[in-house]
Amino acid sequence: TGHHWGYGKEDGPSAWHRQYPVAKGNRQSPIDIIPNEARRDSTLGPIFLKYDQCRSLNIANNGHSVVVEFDDSDDRSVVLGGPLDNPYRLKQFHFHWGGKGCEGSEHTVAGVGYASELHVVHWNAVKYKTYNDAAAAPDGLAVLGIFLELGDDHRWLHMITDALYMVKFKGSATDFKGFNPKCLLPSSLHYWTYLGSLTTPPLHESVTWIVLKEPIVVSEKQLGMFRMLQFNGEEEDQRMRMENNFRPPQNLKERIVRSSN
Ligand SMILES: CCc1cc2c(cc1OS(N)(=O)=O)CC[C@@H]1[C@@H]2CC[C@]2(C)[C@@H](O)CC[C@@H]12
Ligand SMILES: [Zn+2]
């Protein structure tokens, strides 16, 4: 059904605007964050992540990334505070990464990228009935962006990388219970925040981005496991390794980035 988007030469980020004109909009993501130009805002309080009652459901390969989904049928796990006017419900998390030894994050900091970026996705269930409605609304989503830099093994990431062989191909999914994303957070919750968008089509301008300043550390071996995933389905002839699934920084336009204290 229609031409599908991807991260290749013909169907990648530079071509998305043809089918999704909002790609050239006024609040697109990701962006290059310039710390010296971010506005320290004393009205910006800390964020709180209430994940203790979270219930992970499954891990899946959607042909663009690997996603862990949560039970979002009540307010059991939410993010609140910071730039947010009300609690936003935890929905899923997924990653973006590069090729071996290359950058792979979506946001960059003063022009420098990280090896990977984790997106922890929440939606405004106070104002919107469904996730899909929220995902199309200007204040519908709150996404926590966490940078991954290369170093020693991450002590908990193996819980995810051990499951990746089960979701090698697009369209595959498997049970993934009892995982709490709290174990993927850095020690500091200091952040930058700005109004942006989904970083993949349909590129809806519906995301309040909260990008943590402190990266987490994972090993090249662990990150390399993500590259065993494939963009293609099991039945497709063309085998395409899942890597470089990131959109480059977009124009800041009339936006400012605020910094927590
Ligand atoms: C924020 C995480 C997220 C949500 C969605 C996408 C991509 C996303 O990752 S990202 N990197 O944060 O932008 C692309 C598909 C989108 C989905 C939000 C809900 C939809 C818009 C559906 O209604 C139809 C297509 C869906
Ligand atoms: Zn993402």
Model pLDDT, residue 184:
98
Q: What would the mean pLDDT of 68-82 be, rounded to a whole number?
A: 98
Query: Residue with the nearest Cα to atom 13 of ligand 1?
Result: 198
Residue 2 has pLDDT above 80, yes or no: no
Residue 14 has pLDDT above 80, yes or no: yes
Centre of ligand 1 to C-alpha 197, Å, is 9
Model pLDDT, residue 1:
47
Q: Quick: pLDDT tens for 222-239.
A: 999 999 999 999 999 999
Split at pLDDT 50, 70, 90, the class of 3 is low
Q: Which ligand is nearest to the CA of 105?
A: 2
List the beta bridge partners of residue 123: 89, 141
Q: Could you give the ipTM of this predicted complex?
A: 0.99
DSSP summary character for residue 234:
T
Residue 201 has pLDDT above 50, yes or no: yes
pTM comes to 0.98
How are beta strands 141-150 and 207-212 bridged, if at all? parallel
DSSP summary character for residue 159:
H
Best probe residue, ligand 1, of 4, 20, 67, 198 (max atoms within 8 Å of C-beta): 198
Q: Quick: pLDDT tens for 122-175.
A: 999 999 999 999 999 999 999 999 999 999 999 999 999 999 999 999 999 999
Counting Cα atoms < 13 Å in the Cβ hemisphere of 24 gives: 6
